[in-house]
Amino acid sequence: MHWKTRQRLVTWALGTLTIGFLLYQWLPILTLAVLSFSGPTGGTTFPMNGVSLHWYRELWAASFIGDFKPPLWRSFLLALACSGVTCVLSVASAQAMRARFAGHNAFFFLLLLGLMAPGLLVGFGFALLARLLGMEPAWNTTAFIVHVSWTLPFGFLTMLAVFNRFDVKLEEAALTLGANRFVAFRRITLPIVLPGVIGAALFGFSLSYDEFARSMFTTGPDNTLPLAVLAQLDQQLTPELYAIGTATTLTSLLVILLTTTVLWLSRRRAAAR
Amino acid sequence: MAQLDLEIRSLRKRYGGFTAVDDVSLQVGQGQFVCLLGPSGCGKTTTLRCIAGLEEPDDGEILIGGRQVTHDPPWQRDIAMMFQDFALFPHMSIARQVGFGLEMLKRPKAEIRKRVAEVLAAFEIGGLAERRPASLSGGQRQRVALARAMITEPRILLLDEPIGALDYSLRETVMLELKQVQRRSGISFIWVTHDQNEAFSLGDLVVVMNHARIEQQGTPQEILQRPRTPFVAGFVQGNNVFRGRYTAAGAGHARVGAYLLPAGGPPPAEGAEASFSIRAELLRFNPPADWPNRLAARCLTVEYFGSIRRYILQGPDGALLKLDQFGAEPATIGVGEETVLGWRAADAVLHA
């Protein structure tokens, strides 16, 4: 067999594997999504009992189980804040790494440690520390800080990879053309690394949005969404939980779709200019 | 005295233990074309980057147009720079990035638009105004980079191997164009290159650098005909370099080894190791009897370049020699043949 033919076969095999992986990733969510549309008497397993939007109405009215809207709102705000802070800090820290300051390697490993540390313990430790400092755990203070410690390394690595490919000569060219450092960053560096910045922002959002382990001990009395869902699971399992899973997944997809569309449009507009 | 466009006084730059630029001094008059020539790592690019303000010198002074700029940032110097791979902004249209320099000077929008159109037309790239760098050919990029750098009419344009990225066939045309552009504009060009053809065909002043220092500066003719050091003699094409003990020979003459030559500037100590060079076109086969310098050699190979024919020969001590003849004449000897060659004492150049 010619090696080209074998190569084609390998391509097919890898393609099949990819599809298999995608199914493995999405089938569980799809199952929940399907079951969330079952009728008012429907259970939490197959076969389905009728088809309706009943559980979505229940979810909205919050008549049967706890109201998910406040935790949802908190999680959303928290994720948004994490996203913004991750964005700014990861660009700043990656910029700092470019300067190869003394101890930059230690800095790198310390920042990455956030990825290795077990989340539950980080959260617990931070809660203890906060108490010691006289700080009451709350979703928008302690939980926020711990979330950023989790999302930042991801954003940082993204920006590091982007800056690794960035040609410093472009900045230097701007400087020799009369741009000061701030203008060079705004007009040259930032537009070029923007896809990476948006990637860091998405990491910040999605990692915070569904974070459970680090939230557990740091959130205080007002729950975020993952905590609220688990609390509800402890009490009673209804298709309402499926509805909430489906709704939030759709929201996330929508956010990503929106961001990429905005990015694409702004690029096209810039290109036309 | 006319104002100098650029003056460098005892410039020094170190990176850790490595000295990149050592005691470099240079004066560039108005509208001069200066080429910094040397092998890679000789400090020519670092010198250029110090002039641009992209590197901070450890010692020395830089004056642009008589103004002390040693500690000024790049954006406050009256310069522009062209990079080897052109460093075009990938996200900007050609018109936008050519106008970037004027935009930084806060010129009115209408004026910028007009100037950009003029400059693009002058460089014959008017049709590219709305394009992106990615869709341009190498030659077009080079023009865009030049237009972008020259639009603000800086006092000095710094060029870091500006045509190194171009196809060989394009270079000659581009070099001619650049020389004409430079003459018309009156802007001083500081051109960094490792290619001596570029340096000698373009430069009013050629500065040969090696190991962080200036070996010699002068007109192309001075450097080609009177190399001051063995490095320069070996680096530029067409020199035969000889080494030996220096002995005075009276009447303004001296000997290096067995060969007679003019004594030159401050003479080396008697018996010291010295070197001299003789250009390949000044060697002659079967020299007249009264030429004092002669040696037997065997022809190893003959290279033909059209305008010249170059014989590579091996002397009695095994050293390789080059002898150039006018290319239109028939070949004198063939490969493998033994011959005698020689040169006049006056044509040899003693090195410092």
Q: What is the ipTM of this complex?
A: 0.88
What CATH number has the domain spanning B6-224?
3.40.50.300
pLDDT band at B222 (very low <50, low <70, confident <90, very high): very high
Task: Record the pTM.
Answer: 0.84
Q: Which CATH number fits domain B238-350: 2.40.50.140, 1.10.4080.10, 3.40.50.2020, 3.40.50.2300?
A: 2.40.50.140
Q: Does residue A6 belong to any structural domain of this protein?
A: no
Q: Residues with Cβ < 8 Å from B115, sequence gap 6 or more?
A: B99, B102, B107, B151
Which is nearest to B186 in space by CA: B1, B29, B66? B29
pLDDT band at A272 (very low <50, low <70, confident <90, very high): low
Nearest-Cα distance to chain A for B208, in Å, is: 25
Span of A19-28, A233-242, B12-21, B124-133 with lowest mean pLDDT: A233-242
Burial class (CB in 10 A: 0-12, 13-18, 19+), A135: middle
CA–CA distance, B100 with B98 (Å, rounded to integer): 6
CA–CA distance, B195 with B220 (Å, rounded to integer): 13
Say which of B79, B85, B96 has its CB closest to residue A176. B79
A100 reaches B (C-beta below 8 A): no
pLDDT over 90 percentage in chain B: 85
Query: How many structural domains is chain A composed of?
Result: 1
Contact at CB, A176 and B158, closer than 8 angstroms: yes
Contact at CB, A178 and B90, closer than 8 angstroms: no
Q: What is the pLDDT of residue B295?
A: 93
Q: Does residue A33 belong to any structural domain of this protein?
A: no
For chain B, the domains span 6-224, 238-350
Which of A172, A177, A268 is most worth mutating to test chain B (most B CB atoms within 10 A of its CB)? A177
- Find, in chain A, the residue whose alpha carbon is nearest to that of B50: A176
Q: What is the pLDDT of residue A235?
A: 80
Q: Identify the DSSP state of B329.
A: S
- Find, in chain A, the residue whose alpha carbon is nearest to that of B85: A169
E-assigned strands of B74-218?
A: 79-82, 156-160, 188-193, 205-210, 213-218
pLDDT digits (tens, 9 = 90+) for A222-256: 888 888 888 888 887 778 888 888 888 888 788 88
Which amino acid, one-letter code, is at A268?
Answer: R
Q: Does residue A22 belong to any structural domain of this protein?
A: no
pLDDT at B339 over 90: yes
Please provide the average confidence, as pLDDT, over all residues in chain A.
87
Q: Does residue A258 belong to any structural domain of this protein?
A: no
Mean pLDDT of A30-59: 80
pLDDT band at A47 (very low <50, low <70, confident <90, very high): confident
Q: Does residue A269 belong to any structural domain of this protein?
A: no
pLDDT digits (tens, 9 = 90+) for B23-61: 999 999 999 999 999 999 999 999 999 999 999 999 999
pLDDT at A41 over 80: no
Q: Does residue A186 belong to any structural domain of this protein?
A: yes
Tell me which residues of chain B have a C-beta less than 8 Å from any C-beta of chain A: 52-54, 73-75, 79-81, 83, 85, 87-91, 93, 96, 100-101, 104-105, 132, 148-149, 152, 158
Say which of B93, B105, B132 has its CB closest to residue A178. B105
Say which of B81, B89, B132 has its CB closest to residue A176. B81
Q: Does residue A204 belong to any structural domain of this protein?
A: yes
Q: Does residue A247 belong to any structural domain of this protein?
A: no
Residues of chain B in contact with residue A162, where contact means CB-CB under 8 angstroms, are: none
Q: What range defines the domain where residue A216 resides?
A: 66-235
Please provide the average confidence, as pLDDT, over all residues in chain B.
93
A175 reaches B (C-beta below 8 A): yes
Residues of chain B in contact with residue A192, where contact means CB-CB under 8 angstroms, are: 89-91
CA–CA distance, A108 with A102 (Å, rounded to integer): 12
A162 reaches B (C-beta below 8 A): no
Contact at CB, A179 and B75, closer than 8 angstroms: yes
Contact at CB, A170 and B89, closer than 8 angstroms: yes
| CATH, residue A88 | 1.10.3720.10
Nearest-Cα distance to chain B for A52, in Å, is: 50
Residues of chain A in contact with residue B85, where contact means CB-CB under 8 angstroms, are: 169
Q: Which residue has the higher pLDDT, A177 or A229?
A: A177
pLDDT at B98 over 70: yes
Q: Which residue has the higher pLDDT, A44 or B25?
A: B25
Mean pLDDT of A112-141: 87
